[in-house]
Amino acid sequence: MSELHSVNPWLDPSQKPYIQIENVTKKFGDFTAIDNLNLDIYKNEFFSLLGPSGCGKTTLLRMLAGFEKVTNGRILLDGEDISEIPPHLRPINMMFQSYALFPHMTVEKNIAFGLKQDNLPPNEINQRVEEMLQLVELTDFAKRKPNQLSGGQSQRVALARSLAKRPKLLLLDEPLGALDKRLREQTQFELMDIQEKLEVTFVIVTHDQEEAMTVSSRIGVMDSGNLIQVATPTEIYEAPVNKDVADFIGDVNILRGIYKGQNDVGTQLHSDDSDSIVFATQEVGASTGDEMWFAIRPEKLEISKKKPTDQYNILNGRIEDIAYGGSFSTYHVRLDNGRILKAIRANRVRTEEHHLTWEDEVYLHWAPHSAVVLLS
Amino acid sequence: MKKFGNFNIAALVIGFSFLYIPIILLILFSFNESRLVTVWGGFSTKWYSELMQNQGIKDAAWVTIKVAFVSSTMATILGTIAGLVMTRFGSFKGRTLFSGMIYAPMVMPEVIIGLSTLLMFVALAVDRGVFTVTLAHITFSMCYVAVVIQSRMSSYDDSITEAALDLGCTPFRTFILITLPIILPAVISGWLLSFTLSLDDLVIASFTSGPGSTTLPMKIYSMVRLGVTPEINAVSTILVGLVTLGVVTASIIGRRQKQQTI
């Protein structure tokens, strides 16, 4: 158990949070960007703030950096209230979305800039710059100016510059947003390696849910200035707290229905989408007649032409569209009532014996433990 | 590339002739041997050497350069601050009014600016001289600098400033080490622009000057009233050369800065 706790400090009540955001509110005029938000982040976490644009995630990050003042509440770093400390005195560094490299300085000078502000001796500055250049594999580019670098190189210079001062906390604002897909995936792993090697706490802002899932220890899903759910990527994906989170993270099929009660299988729902009764093993506190939803991920829906032997969790429809993705195919199935559900099937066999094609009559089936019951 | 039509060539020739023939004539006749301005008597640079003997013109030139140097430097400092402030503060109530007020001197008739500054100096009982001309020049050239700086700042990424603060640099040092070097080309072209504006101003200088502060354009103007001499052509040619140099340098710096940001 103790090992689990060191990996997941948020489960261990004896662990002290490294960053404490307490009842923080931020208003711009009449507009409330952050609404009474509370969040604890622990040492060495790779924490992602995820949400649609305008949800307040960047504002929250800028408050941690000190570029925005909190309207109400306070922010503690390692137990010390930093709410009133100006940005240049905070032991926090940030990597900007635009990279914000100084265009009139070489790569070397960009990285050394923060160290010079601390009046370190020149040989130590040189040594650290050298270290950073090696870390991001840009030693050969030390004398170049920012306008002579590619997007990926600029991104690494920005990272090196923000890490040079060995901050305890590094803030990253959409750090990979400007890179193409392949480079982005590669850089995600590099970021994770660097974070582990240097033992820095990372707080990253992103609107890319895949990126957040890949890199994070925990994700905070934000909407309209508040946190909706804070959990590990697996929990967010497999046990979202409501329809919005389920819908925002990954693809999902949502069945609406009326609560019928519990039985030995689990929660029982009467849905307009299915003739059979639908079950989920998850138990919820609800009373008969309540409206609720079942969320089922497309890869958890089994699709077949043969009617399943089970008597429950069956939907039938017709294949309307197939998106062939190489390793897997996504089927859009139109139910009799007109709704379209998505099912994903891995293409395990090269020549499909039970080949599915357009207009096929199919059955969708799922195990009772595959669906999540949502009350809102 | 599309070939120029005859009409286009004609329009071009007429247009440019209209603009430049007077100036070309002036430059040509400054190298005229003859004392008669409109009669060509062979090539000579004697009017330039004669110019060097003319104490009145030399005094006026010295006054002009002093005024231009001090006023453009002051206008650059004030105009840069104005341009930075206008971009830094984003939108606030009355912003349009403020920015409009900065640009107003650009479209205000020079006579009005001259007259109003004169009235102010009289009301404050300030003795008119080099000092008052300089002040008046700062007033009207400042807005040009502000415009140049503001247009530079519109493509300036604010997160560069924030990055410097974030790395532990104080706001003042950030301005000196980061913002100023980046916008320096714009500052220099603003300076050159106000320098040339001050150099060839006649109207405002006439209103605000006093004894001992005759500027070169004023001197030329008063000499012309007694008849145009080749000497005037010579001094005007020098002035044209200076202004051209300033404007060309400013535009080259501006272009290089544009390349750097892209």
In terms of C-beta distances under 8 Å and separation of at least 24 residues, what long-range contacts does A23-30 make, across chains too? Answer: A23/A72, A23/A73, A23/A74, A24/A60, A24/A63, A24/A70, A24/A72, A24/A73, A24/A74, A24/A75, A25/A70, A25/A71, A25/A72, A25/A73, A26/A56, A26/A59, A26/A60, A26/A63, A26/A68, A26/A70, A26/A71, A26/A225, A27/A71
Residues A292 and A369 in one domain: yes
In a domain, A105, yes or no: no
Q: By residue range, what is the domain housing residue A215?
A: 2-91+167-244
pLDDT bucket at A11, cuts 50 / 70 / 90: confident
DSSP letter for A337, please: T
pLDDT bucket at B165, cuts 50 / 70 / 90: very high
**Model confidence pLDDT, tens digit, residues A205-219:** 998 888 899 899 999
CATH of the domain at B222: 1.10.3720.10
pLDDT of residue A154: 93
Counting residues of chain A whose pLDDT is more than 90, the rounded percentage is 48
Kindly determine whether residue B166 and residue A93, on different chains, have CB atoms separated by under 8 Å.
yes
Residues 6 or more apart whose Cβ sits within 8 Å of residue A40: A10, A17, A19, A20, A21
Asked if B163 is an interface residue toward chain A (Cβ–Cβ < 8 A), one would say yes
Q: Is the ipTM of this complex over 0.85?
A: no
Cβ-nearest to A114 among B159, B167, B261: B167
Dist CA B180 CA B187 (whole Å): 8
Residues A363 and A273 in one domain: yes
Mutate to test the interface with B, among A69, A95, A96, A105 (most CBs of B within 10 A): A96
Q: Give the orientation angle of helix B130-153 with respect to helix B55-88, to 10 degrees.
A: 40
Residue of B nearest to A112 (CA): B167
Average pLDDT over residues A329-351: 87
Cβ atoms of residues A43 and A198 within 8 Å: no
Dist CA B227 CA B38 (whole Å): 12
Residues A326 and A263 in one domain: yes
Kindly determine whether residue B167 and residue A93, on different chains, have CB atoms separated by under 8 Å.
yes
Residue B259 has pLDDT above 70, yes or no: no
In a domain, A172, yes or no: yes
Asked if B155 is an interface residue toward chain A (Cβ–Cβ < 8 A), one would say no
In a domain, A144, yes or no: no
Kindly determine whether residue B168 and residue A86, on different chains, have CB atoms separated by under 8 Å.
no
In a domain, A114, yes or no: no
Q: Residue A98's beta-bridge partner residues?
A: none
Residue A119 has pLDDT above 70, yes or no: yes
In a domain, B43, yes or no: no
- Of A244, A277, A305, which residue is a domain's last? A244
Kindly determine whether residue B164 and residue A103, on different chains, have CB atoms separated by under 8 Å.
no
Structural domain tally of chain B?
1
- The count of CB pairs under 8 A between chains A and B is 65
pTM, 2 dp = 0.80
**Model confidence pLDDT, tens digit, residues A129-184:** 999 999 888 999 999 999 999 989 999 999 999 999 999 899 999 988 878 888 88
In a domain, A364, yes or no: yes
Segment (H or E) for A24: strand A19-28
Dist CA A325 CA A142 (whole Å): 42
From chain A, pick out residues whose CB is under 8 angstroms from the CB of B173. 117
For the ranges A115-129, A276-290, A356-370, the lowest mean pLDDT is seen at: A276-290
Cβ-nearest to A88 among B165, B182, B261: B165
In a domain, B2, yes or no: no
B208-230: b or e for each residue (b if 16 or more CB lie within 10 Å)? bbeeebbbbbbbbeebeeeebbb
Dist CA B60 CA B235 (whole Å): 11
In terms of C-beta distances under 8 Å and separation of at least 24 residues, what long-range contacts does A287-290 make, across chains too? Answer: A287/A259, A288/A259, A288/A260, A288/A261, A289/A258, A289/A259, A290/A258, A290/A259, A290/A375
Counting residues of chain B whose pLDDT is more than 90, the rounded percentage is 37
CATH of the domain at A213: 3.40.50.300
In a domain, A100, yes or no: no
In a domain, A329, yes or no: yes
In a domain, A123, yes or no: no
- Of A244, A260, A291, which residue is a domain's last? A244
Average pLDDT over residues B117-146: 92
Angle at A248 between CA A202 and CA A376, to 5 degrees: 115
Q: By residue range, what is the domain housing residue B247?
A: 54-261
Dist CA A371 CA A185 (whole Å): 30
Pairing of strands A19-28, A72-77: antiparallel
Number of helices (H), then strands (E), in chain B: 12, 0
Residue A338 has pLDDT above 80, yes or no: yes
pLDDT bucket at B257, cuts 50 / 70 / 90: low
Q: Which residue, chain included where needed, has tokens 């305890």?
A: A168
Counting residues of chain B whose pLDDT is more than 70, the rounded percentage is 96
In a domain, B153, yes or no: yes
**Model confidence pLDDT, tens digit, residues A63-105:** 999 999 999 999 999 999 999 999 999 999 999 999 999 999 9
**Model confidence pLDDT, tens digit, residues A264-311:** 767 888 887 777 778 787 877 777 778 888 889 999 988 888 888 887
In a domain, B26, yes or no: no
**Model confidence pLDDT, tens digit, residues A81-90:** 999 999 999 9
pLDDT bucket at B212, cuts 50 / 70 / 90: confident
- Of A210, A244, A278, which residue is a domain's last? A244
Average pLDDT over residues A325-346: 89
